[in-house]
Amino acid sequence: MAAIGFAFDIYEILVLPLIVRPALLELGPLAPGTPEFNAWVGWLLWVPALAGGIFGLLGGYLTDRFGRRRVLVWSILVYALSALGAGFSTSLPMLLFFRTTTFVGVCVEFVAAVAWLAELFPDPKRREAVIGYTQAFSSLGGLMVTGAYYFAVHYGPMLPSIHGGHEAWRYTLISGLIPAIPLIVIRPFLPESPKWKEKKEAGTLKRPSLAEIFHPALRRTSLVTALMFACSYGAAFGAIQHLPRIVPGLPEVQGLARAAVETAVSQVQTYQELGGLLGRLALAFLAVRIVSRRALLRVFQVPGLILVPLVFLYASVGSLDLLKWGVFVA
């Protein structure tokens, strides 16, 4: 259930780069490359992420107060219904609102799921393996949403019309409801975190202050970790998630019919997610074999410092095949 949850988290996050261009063309209508078009892309990427970060902190509070399992159930409901609402959007502000509530649900669910898993498996080595391998399923979420988009592009005209049309982006957003169904049905029956339950029953449950991680003994670690996360998300939101917008500008893609362009976009996204899956599995495998966390980070950071600039400076303006394999390795 945790693995499906992590897959669904990434499913909901990665749906936006795939659908943002056709959604803006229909709801704007805005022309690609114009300042208004790029501004709305920025709003749709930035506002939900900012809200997700803020509510992720709130999610930590809620999981301590009400339990991990209960928050897992309610967060699934929030972003399942939000995904449905986004698919029926009739304006850009409406789409922005539902994308924001979707992101909020994702971030709260992620916090609750990690805390739940960490407390179900007290042995450190087993805990790292469990968290690592379940999060590897995030890439399956990326593959699923890519497949859903490909299906919607090619078979959308056969599906029931929405607001009088058969736009693939709408069906793809609504498809986010499907993976939520087994989670909504099964999660209420999962065991609560034994550690949380024990403290709750004993009356010793206490939420630590956020300021504690900035005490002198922890300050340096907290600041460096926060900076590393900022850089990681910067690479994701500032570069990788813009690939569906970069692909239509490639020489062999320009001038193709809209369906062919969207097919090329989904192909690049598939290669990206296959690479992500391989990378996450490698991380989970190495996390229990490389004792030093610094050494483990360098295994991925050093190649990344070389590969990411090469992909976005050279492959992204070269050819479709080069970009596919480049983003796979990156």
How many structural domains is the chain composed of?
2
Residue where a domain stops, chosen among 174, 200, 226: 200
Over residues 274-291, the pLDDT tens digits come to 898 888 888 878 887 887
- The domain in which residue 275 lies consists of 212-330
Q: Are residues 5 and 89 in the same domain?
A: yes
Q: Are residues 175 and 274 in the same domain?
A: no
Residue where a domain stops, chosen among 164, 180, 200: 200
The verdict on residue 286 lying in a domain is: yes
Q: Is the pLDDT of residue 61 over 90?
A: no
More confident residue, 98 or 135: 98
The whole-model pTM stands at 0.82
Q: What percent of the chain has pLDDT over 70?
A: 100
The verdict on residue 206 lying in a domain is: no
Q: Is the pLDDT of residue 93 over 80?
A: yes
Residue 47 pLDDT: 93
Residue 220 pLDDT: 93
Q: Nearest 5 degrees, angle CA 75-CA 42-CA 300? A: 70
* CATH classification at residue 130: 1.20.1250.20
Q: Are residues 161 and 232 in the same domain?
A: no
SS3 per-residue string spanning 127-173: HHHHHHHHHHCHHHHHHHHHHHHHHHHHHHHHCCCECCECCHHHHHH
The verdict on residue 207 lying in a domain is: no
Q: Are residues 132 and 14 in the same domain?
A: yes
Q: Are residues 234 and 287 in the same domain?
A: yes
Q: Are residues 252 and 303 in the same domain?
A: yes
Q: Are residues 124 and 7 in the same domain?
A: yes
Residue where a domain stops, chosen among 168, 200, 232: 200
Residue 327 pLDDT: 92
Residue 96 pLDDT: 96
**What type of residue is 208?**
P
**What type of residue is 83?**
A
- Rounded to 10°, the helix 35-66/216-238 angle is 140
